[in-house]
A and B are shown apart, each in its own frame.
Chain A
Amino acid sequence: MWKVLHQIAVCYWLQVKVTSTSWFDGVLAVFYPLMFATATLLVYRVRGDADGMQFAGLGAVVMGMWTCQGVVAASALARERWSGTLELLVAAPTGMPRILVPTTLAFSTVGLYCVVVTFLWERWVFDLPLHITSWPLFVLGVVVAALTLSLFGYFLAVTCVRYRTAWAIGAAMEMPGWLLCGFVVPLALLPTWLHPLSWVIPTTWAMEAVRDAANGSSPWGHLGLALLVGAGYAVIGGYLGRQLVDSARRHATLALT
């Protein structure tokens, strides 16, 4: 047990260092959503509606977590391939979930940094103090968003293992994700046929929990749903990961050369 925890901790810390010092996966993953949050707040600010600013401000704070996870996780294994370490990871006696989940947890950690930066940016640049009724529950909501996103990121990473340009899939998911999770647009405004897509993303529920914590409602129901959906992705990711990696090894297509 101690060995497993040690391996997970080492893997997590190594990936935190790798990601946070990367200009593309670390710095840009924070800067890019911050600029989109700025554009969004500029739109909401035109009307000067305080409720609208509170809604957009809360969503913008969490929005960056999606970028830090979704975009980066999709190409996590592709980057290992570019570095020539994918075969080593697959051949290692340690299972893929024990390598990939700490990796995606590291991406979520950069996402948490993005939350703090956006929060301060809104306060200092937009003079927008967000009204949070329960800070402990707000922080819990953000942590659950990070945790469930990392499980979603794990699912994404294993599904894209055979896709040579996985980064493009991740990049294309960025803005649809911002829309579907209801960060800066109320889900009720989206067409009804899109709602089921929102429901199967754990961050949608985590975002609702964050809003609950901010306005004083009970977030426990939404937190439970977020954890449930996140666990679903962990199970599917675990199964798919084994199938896809086994298939890639059997057909000698891991390197995609």
Chain B
Amino acid sequence: MTSVRIFFKGGLTSYRAMFGWLHPGVAIPVFLIEPVAQILLFAFIGRSAGVADDRFYVIGNALQFASIPCLFAMAFTIDGEREAHTLSVVLVSPARRLPLFLGRALPVIANGWVVTLVGLVAGMLLLRVTIPGSAWLPMLLVVLVSSASCTGLGLATGAVALRVRDSAVLANVVYCGLLIFSGVNVALDQVPGWMADVGRWLPLTHAIEAARRLADGQGAGSIGGLLVRELGLGAAYTVLGLLMLRWLETSSRRWATLDRV
């Protein structure tokens, strides 16, 4: 029962306390203006280069923008404890680590889901892109899965934030990696083979492909395999993040580097 309470209540409290971007002064520019600007930027680049239609870029960039809350919020909910000098208090508590850190991921997934949908709808309205009505229900699921898998990567990034001083820089670097390798703006069969190989091991890649299939009018049955792979990758990154948290926590205690700001 305590673990359930830590998971839900503790997770939400930590998210609200540590993720300082929920204020309208930050949330509106970062979660509304930036994703729409990125969608428009690449849609116009696509038009100028004559490569793909607007829908390709709306879907790719809207889904990729979920990684902003997923990476940054997860990093900040861990790194923020150190900034607030509460990390040692959290880590000496007898609370189980699994609900303690996974609980923080739940609101982040919801945040990523909402940001993606806002980007999708805004991009569609501004660029007059249409997605078949029948595709919307599975699309909501795809967005949820992509946010969850990206949060797994965020957990791993957040774990590194236990050791790396500037988590914002780290999250930005990972964000850029997803932009380049996940097939956001160029289909994987149009990039060098090694880049496509890297992309297949990253979150978002399969979800973006699934979303594009749905938007092209293919049925929900065509995306099952992609969703399973996306979920599998998300789970793998989550496990990796938890293992890294455990290892870095132990080594931080041993080397007294826990509160090094």
A-side residues, CB < 8 A to B, are: 23-24, 27-28, 31-32, 35-36, 38-40, 42-44, 46-47, 49, 52, 55-56, 163-165, 168-169, 171-172, 174-176, 178-179, 184-186, 189-190
Contact = CB atoms under 8 A, between A and B. Distances in A.
A28 B168 CA distance: 10
Contacts, number: 103
Given A35-B180, A42-B186, A171-B29, 6 more contacts: A28-B172, A165-B23, A165-B25, A175-B38, A185-B48, A190-B44
A199 to B, nearest CB: 18
Contacts of B37: 172, 174-176, 179
A44 B180 contact: no
A148 B184 CA distance: 34
B179 A52 contact: no
Given A43-B186, A47-B50, A189-B44, A35 B25 contact: no
Contacts of A175: 34, 37-38, 40-41
B41 A179 contact: yes
B29 A35 contact: no
Given A32-B176, A43-B51, A185-B45, A168 B184 contact: no
Interface residues of B, number: 36
B125 interface: no
A165 B26 contact: yes
Interface string B155-182: 0000000000110110011001101100
Contacts of B190: 46
A185 B29 contact: no
Contacts of B34: 171-172, 174-175
B166 A23 contact: yes
Interface of B: 21, 23, 25-26, 29-30, 33-34, 37-38, 40-42, 44-51, 165-166, 168-169, 172-173, 176-177, 179-180, 184-186, 190-191
| Interface SS of B by simple majority | helix
B168 A164 contact: no
23 contacts: A24-B168, A27-B169, A35-B177, A39-B184, A39-B186, A42-B185, A43-B46, A43-B49, A43-B51, A46-B186, A52-B48, A52-B49, A165-B26, A168-B21, A171-B29, A172-B33, A172-B37, A175-B40, A176-B33, A176-B37, A184-B45, A189-B44, A190-B44
Contacts of A185: 41, 44-45, 47-48
Nearest to A184: B45
Given A36-B179, A185-B48, A163 B30 contact: no
| Residue among A43, A163, A169, A190 with max Cβ neighbours from chain B (10 Å) | A43
Contacts of A174: 34, 37
Contacts of B23: 165
A164 B25 CA distance: 8
A36 B23 CA distance: 27
B129 to A, nearest CB: 16
